[in-house]
Amino acid sequence: MIKQSFNRKLHLGAQLVKCTGLAGDGFLVYNRAMADHASANPLSYRYPHPAVTVDCVIFGLDGQSLKVLLNRRDLVPFRDAWALPGGFIGIDEGLEDAARRVLQAETGVHDLYLEQLYSFGTPDRDPRERVITIAYYAIVNLFDHPVGKAAPSCASQEAGWFAMDRLPALAFDHSAIIETALARLQAKIRYQPIGFGFLPRKFTLTQLQKLYEAILCTSLDKRNFRKKILSTGLLVPLDEMEMDVAHRAAKLYRFDDRLYGELRQRGFNFAV
């Protein structure tokens, strides 16, 4: 009976969570259900529980600019401020499941590269209560999956892509989360081929170089870059050229995922 009552309250809170991120009434119902459960269950811990959220840094490459997806909040706290997509984790939901739910809602794409980044738990990071967030970063291919003028979620009034060097003031500690995500991306792109997730399946060497330059925030020597990237043996030249371009059409390549998987099992180190 106790369990059924708890589940009914939790279900009500969960329905509100979907559109409020546990703000307002949904937040109160959820907390009340958890408190009732704790008082009725002798096995429950007797100390305050922090709330747990996920926040997602969604990177995309628009031409030559590295961008991040942001939402303008429609709820307190920080109403009207820009923030990362995210939300509270359901009581029966795994961390990555919650992150992928957020990604699906914000981008409509299922198969994004997703990696857990870091946990952020400064006691005063959220004025509502003690909230610990698990941050993830994701890579979306805007060539094949144009998110375009991103659709706002239930808890936001507007969504949009922002260049990394033109970010607005952000809610909570989301500026620190984005800085951490960018540092991870810059480090990892040098030793794992995750950068190809930004590009279409067929790309030019110029597109690939501009990708690395945008992420690393530096200019790269064209000759040295091409020599190094081609020496990996992971780029397959295609019998195709660029189409409908104003400049001289360049040769197209594709990344050999299968070969990389085989080489990696044998200890191959991708380095650029």
Residue holding tokens 């299968």?
Answer: 258
Q: At what angle do helices 222-231 and 205-216 cross, to 10 degrees?
A: 110
- Strand bridging mode 251-255 / 65-73: unpaired
Query: Considering 158, 179, 213, 242, which one is annotated as catalytic?
Result: 158
- In whole angstroms, what separates CA 48 from the centre of its chain? 29
| Residue 113 half-sphere exposure toward CB, CA atoms < 13 A | 18
With contact defined as beta carbons under 8 Å apart, do 243 and 251 qualify?
Answer: no
CB-CB neighbours of 87 under 10 Å: 24
With contact defined as beta carbons under 8 Å apart, do 25 and 78 qualify?
Answer: no
Structure tokens at 134: 């698990």
213 closest CA partner among 49, 59, 11, 64: 64
Structure tokens at 19: 């559109």
Q: Is 158 a catalytic residue?
A: yes
Catalytic residue set: 158
